[in-house]
Structure 1
Amino acid sequence: MTTPARRKGVRWTVGRMLTAGFAVALVALGVVGAAAYARIGALMHAQQPLTRSHRVLGGIGKLGDLVNATDRTQREYLSDHNTASLQLYRDTAGLLDQTLDEVQHDTADDPAQQRLIGQIRPLLAAPDLAAPAENDFNRVTALVDAMHDRENAVLDQHLDAIDQSARRTRLLIIAVSVGTALFVAAAGRWITKRITSAAHVVTEAAERVIEGDLTRPAEVTGPAELAQMARAVNSSMAAMATARDEALAATAAKSAFLAAMSHEIRTPMNAVIGGTSLLNDGPLDAGQQELVDIVRGSAESLLVIINDILDFSKIEAGELVLDEQPVNLHGLLDDAVNLVALTADAKGLRLSVEMAPNCPLTVIADETRLRQILVNLLGNAVKFTDRGGVSVRVTFVEDRLRIAVRDTGIGIPPDQLDRLFQAFSQADPGTRGRTGTGLGLVISRRLAEAMGGTIQVTSTPGSGSTFTVEAAVGLSDENVALSSRTPARRRRTHQPPLHVLLAEDNPINQRVAELMLTRRGHTVDIVDNGADAVRAVHEVAYDLVLMDVQMPVLDGLSATEEIRSAPPAHGSPRIVALTANATADDQAAGRRAGMDDFLAKPIQEADLDLVLSGGHPRATPAAPPTGEDDDIRASIAAIAGADFANQVRLADILLAFARRLPAVLADIDNAVVDGDHARVDRLAHGLKGSSGTLGAHRLAGACARLEAYAQKRDVAGQAATLRELHDRADVAGRAVTSVSQELVAAAA
C-alpha cells in the first residue's frame, strides 16, 4: 500500500534519516579504524630491521668474545704445551669460524660489513701455533669493533626512521579522527535541523490555531511524518476558518437584527420620553406626577438597555470605530464621578479619586468610549455597594493608562468571576437582587480591548471588588487641559480664556473655585499639594496659578519659591495666593516668596475678576451683621449665578459638606482630648477654609480661634472653643442642608 508520503514524493522519513545518520557515523568510525590499522601495520613492519640489527650486534659481540678467547688459549698452549689447552684452542677457533659465518649471513645486505668480514677471515685462517701472530688478533679485534660501530650506526638510522613514522602515524590518526568527527557532526546537525525545523513549523502552526490565527498554514516538505502532520494541521485550519466565517456571518446577521430592532424600539421610546417631559410641564396632581416620574424613569432605563444592545451589536459586527482625540483626564474623571455622585450620596457612600503624580494632563484616546467604560464600572460599584465607598485610582506606565475602581460592596464568589464578561449574563443573578442586561461589562471589556488593553477583576465575597481597566493611549504634544470640564453654558466676559492651575487641598474649595472659573470660560487643572503644583508648572504653560498657602507635602510659599528659583523653560505664570489669613504679615511673606497677588478666602466674585484681569483685590468693606443662613445663601448665589449646571453641582457640594461635618467634628474632639495640637491645627484650618468658602463665616471664625489656640498649645482655650464650634457647626449644617434642598428643587 502506498503511503501519503510516497504519493507526495516525500521519501525521507524520520526513521530513515536517523538510520542514515547512524550509518554515516559507522562509516566514519571504520575509516578511522582502517587508517589506524594500516599505520600500525607499517610500524610493526619497521620493527624487523631493528630485530636484525640487535641480532647482528649480538653476533658481533659473541665474535669479539671468541677472538679474545682464541688469543688467550693460544697463549696458554704456548706457555705449557698442554694437550687440553690445544683442544680448547681448536674448539674456540671452530666456534669463532661458525660465528663469523652467522654474522656474515645476517649482514649479507650490508656491503660495508661484508668488507670487514672479508678482512677478518684471512687473519683467522689456520694460525701457526708454533709461531703465533699477536698482531693478527689485534687487527681482528679492531675489525670486530668497526663492525660493532657500523651496526650501531645502522640501528640508530632505523630508530630515527621508526620515530618519524610513528609521528606521521599519530598526525594521520588525529587528522582523520578530527575530519571524521566534523563530518559526522555536520551530518548529524543537518539531520537534526531537518527534523527539528519541520517540527518547529508544525508546532508554530498549531499554536497559531490555538490563538485563532488561521491565515498562515504550515509549509513542510519533509520528513514524511512531519509533512503529514503539517497537512493535518492545515486541514484543521481550513475547517476552522470555514466554521469561523460561518459563525461571523451568523453573528453579523444577529447583530444586524438587534440593531434594526433596537432602532425600531427607540422611535416609540423617544415619543414616550418626550411625552412625559411635556406632561411634566403641565399642571399635575401628586398622583399624576408620581406616575409620570415612574414612566419617564422606566423609559430612560429601557433606553439605557437599548443603547447597550446597540453598542454590543456594533462590536459584534466589527463596526466599532474609535475617535481618538486629546482627552483631559481630570475632566473625564469629574464627569464620570458626577454622574454617579447623587446615587452614591443617597446611599451614604464615599467617593474618592486619586491620580498618580506621573499621570499626564492630556492623553490621546476615545473620550466617549473611555468615559463609557468608567461610568459603567462606577455605576456597578455604586449599585452593588451598600456601605463604605468607592474609590478610583489612576496610574500611568509608559503608554498604558490604568484606572482601578474599587468598592467595599458584596463582592463576587470566585466561581462566578468567569460569568462577568459573558454576554447577557450576571454573576449569581438569583442572590444579588440587582437588574441589568448583563452587557455592561462585556461592552466595557470589548471597548478596552479595542483600545489595546483589557479589564481585570479581583474580588473577595463580603469585602468588595476591584475592576482595573487598562488602555493604550497616546500623549498630546501640547499636553494641555481641554475644556471638557467647562459647563455648556459659559458666562461670557471681556477676558480671554485663561489656563489656570488651582493648587488647593480642600475638596470643597477645589470644586467651588473650579465652578467660579469655568463659569467665566477658563480652563482649570487641579492639584492638591505644592509639590504637584511645581511639577505641573514645569510641564504645562499656565497663565495663572491660584496657590493655597497651607497645603501638605509642600506649602504654597515653598512651592512658589521653587518655581521662582528655577522657572520653567516656557516662562513663569502669575502666582496668586489663596489664603484665609490675608494679614499684612502674610502678604509680606507671600511677596518675599515671589507671589504676585493675594486672594482672600472666601473668594468674592469681584476680587476674583480683578485677579483674573491682572488687577488687585479690593479691600472688602465690613458688611452689616446677618444670620449664618443669609451668609450662606449670599455666597452660594454669588458662586452659582444663573448657571443651572453650577447650581446642581453646588447642591452636591453643600450636601457632601453637611454629611462630612459630624465626622470632622468628632476628629477634632478626639485630637483635643489626645492633646495632638498639630492635628487640631490642621483639622481646624481645613474646616475654616471650606466653611468660609460656603459663607459659614461664624463657623469659620470659631475654627480660626481653635486654630490659634492649637498653635499656642493652649489646652484650656481649645477645650473652651469646642462648645462654640459645635454650636456654630449645628447652625451651619442645617443652613447648608436647607440651601442644598432649595437648589435641587430649583433645578428640578
Structure 2
Amino acid sequence: MSRILYCLTVEHDWRWTLAAAVLCVFGLGAAFRLLVEARRLQRARRREVALLGAVVGGVTVFSTHFVAMQGYDAGGDVRYGLALTLLSLALGVGGVVLGSLVLLAGNRRLHRGIGGMVGLSGVAAMHFVGIAALELPGRTIGWDPVLAVAAVVGGLAMALLTGAVIYGKGTPRFAATCMGGALSVIILHFTAMSAMAITPDAVTTAAIGPTAGSSTMLTVLAMMILGLVGAAGTAAWLGYISRSSALHQIREAIDAMPDGLAFFDADDRLVLWNNRYDEVNPELSSNLQAGMTFREIIQIGLNEGLYAEARGREKEWITDRMQSRRALSAMMEQRIAGDRWLRVADRRTAAGGIVTVCTDITDLKNDAQALAEARDAAQAANAAKSQFLANMSHEIRTPLNGVIGLAQALGNTNLSPQQAEMLDLIQSSGRTLQVLLSDILDLARVESGRLELSEETFDLGSAVRDAAQLYEASAREKGLQFFVEIAPEVDCWIIGDQVRLKQILTNLVSNAVKFTGEGFVSLTAAPGPTRDGVQTLRFSVEDTGIGFDAQTRDRLFSRFEQADGAITRKFGGSGLGLAISRQLSEMMGGDLDCESEPGGGSAFILTVPFKAAKAPVAAPGEAIDDGTAAHATVRVLLADDHPVNRRVVEMILGQANVALTSVEDGAQALQAVRDGDYDLILMDMQMPVMDGLTATREIRLHETAMGLGRTPIVMLTANALPEHVSAAEAAGADRHLPKPFDAAELLHLVVALPRTMAGSIAA
C-alpha cells in the first residue's frame, strides 16, 4: 500500500492525476449514457448508438491512461512507439465494445457484472501494451509481479461490483455507476504504475519503428478529449431528445384521452390540463390559467351558477368539496347547469400533487333514466298483464261455471239417449276449456315468476293413484291395459307440492292415453338415482302409442308444440302441457325428459327430489263426514251477483237437503248473517256494493263482537289465482272453491264442512 501511495503522490503530478480522473468520470458517464439510450431505441439505431458509446468508453480509458502518463516522472525523456500505442488503443476500444455487447444482451446482474469485467480486461491489456510502447533512452522498465496482479484483480473486482451492484435507475445510482467505473480504471492504472520500476541502463536500444514525443502525444490527447466532449454533448443531446420525445408522446396521449385531465401541484395550483378538460368544462375554459388554485376555479363555477347542488349553500358546498379533495382518492358525481353531469375523480400523487379526471356522464345518466322509465313501464305493464289475467280468468270462469254446472245438474234429470250424448259432449268441451284456461294461466304465472311451490306433507301413493284414476276409465274405454305400480320404498308420506306433482303426472298420463290406440299405458313410481348426495323420486309414464322421432323430441317441450300439425288436428290440444310440466319439474329441483321412436311408443321420465316425511297423526274430531249418514237440513247463505251462477248453485243444491238463501252482494250477505243463523256461507269474491273479502271480514267481526260461533265460509269464486286464495284466507274464509266447480265436490263440501268444523270446535 505504501508503494502505491508513494507512486500516486511522489511519482505523479497531482494536476495531471486530477485531470485524468475527471476525464475518466465524465467520459465514462457519456459512454454509459449512450448505452442507456441505446436500450430505448429501435434495433437499427440501437447498434449505432451502442457502438458509439463503446468507442467513447474505449477512447476515454485510453485518454485517461496517457493523460496520467503525462504527469508521471520517468526520470528523463519519454517517447511513444506508434505501433504499440495504436495497438493499445485498439485493445482498449475493443475490450469496451465486447463488454458493451454483453451488457446489451441482457439487463440482469450477471450480464452487467460480466460486461464490466470484459471491458476492464480490455483496459488492462491496453494499459500494459501502452507501457510497452514507452521508449526510455538509457533506462529499462521492471515489474513487481504481485502488484501487477493486484492491479488487474482490483480493477476487475471494482468493475464487477459496479455492474452487478451499484448500477440502478435514478440519477444518484447513475452517478455512482460513473464513479465506480472510473475507480476501477484508476485502481488498475495507479496500482500497475506502482508495480513498475525504472532503472538506468547503459545499453541504449534503438527505437523500433516510428515514435512520437510528449508534445505530439499531448496534441493527440487534446484531439481525443475534444472528441469526448463532442460525444458527451451528443449523449446529452440524445437524452434531451429522448425525454422531449417521451414528454411529447405523453402530452399527445393526455390530449387524446376521452376524459378531461388536470394536474395540480402540492399547493393545489393548476399546472397543466388537456383539451378534453376544456371541452367538459366549457364555462371555465376561457378562465383557466396555469397557477390558478382549485379553490379559485370552483369559485368561477359558482359565480357562473354551474353547480345546481350548491345553490343556497355555497359556503358549505365549498367546504365539503375541499374536504373531499384532501383525501387520498375521491370520486363524486356533479350536476352542471344545462342538465349535464360530470364524474369527478381526484387522486393524490406521491409528491402531494392532485390529478383530477372529469368524465362527461350525461349520456349515461340519460340512459339510466331511460332504463328506469322503461323498467317502471315494464313493471306497470306486468301489473296490467297480471290484472288482465285475473280479470280474464274471472270473466271466463264465470260463464264456464254456468255451462259445466248446469250440464251436471241436467245430467241428474231424465234424458233421452240423444240428449245424454249431447250432454256428454257439452261436459267434455267444458272440461277441455277448463284445462286450457288453467294451462294458459299457469304459463303466464311461470313466465312472470309469480308461481310459487308449496311445501306440504302428503301421501305420495295416494297422490299417484289419484292422478292415474282420472284417466283410467278413458283408457279402459279405448281397450287399453292400464297399470299403476308404486315401489314399496316410495309408497309413503313426503314433503312437496302435491297439486303441482299431480298436475305433471295427470298431464303425462293424459297424453299417453290420448296418443295410444292399442296396447297399454303404465305409470310407475320408484326410487331414483342419488344426485349430489340427494335422493330422488323417479316417475315413468310409458305407452305403446304413435311415438316420435329425435327431431320432434328436441322441440316437444316448447310451447304450443306437438309432434306435428297433423297430430294437433287429429288429437287436439294446445301444446302447453309439456312446456308447463318441464318448467314445474325444474322449479321442484328436478327434470323431465323422454325417450321414443316413431310407432314404438314413448316413455316420459320425471325425476324430483325425494323428501320423506312421517305420516301425520289425525286428532280427534278431524274426521270428515262423508255425507252418507242422515243429517238435518243444512242452512246455506249464497252471495253472488251473477244470476246464472246463483241459479246453477240452486239447481245443484236442490238435489240435497239444503235450505238455500240467495243474496246479490256482500252488504246483503252481512245483513242476512245479522238477521239469521246459517250453517254455511257461499261467498263470491267480486261483487258490487261490498266485495266478498270485505263482507267476510265484517262477518268475522260481527261473530267476535256478539260472541257467536264461527260459521264456515267458502269462497265460491272465479278468482282462482294463488294470491286470491291467500287473500281469502287472510280475510277469514275457511275454504276456496274455484269456478267452474264440480257439482259433486260442492255437494260434499256443503254437507260435510259444517259437521267437520263443529267437530273440530268441540274437540
* Superposition TM-score tier, normalisation by shorter sequence: 0.3 to 0.5
Provide TM-score, normalisation by structure 2: 0.36
Provide TM-score, normalisation by structure 1: 0.37
More helix by share: 1
More strand by share: 2
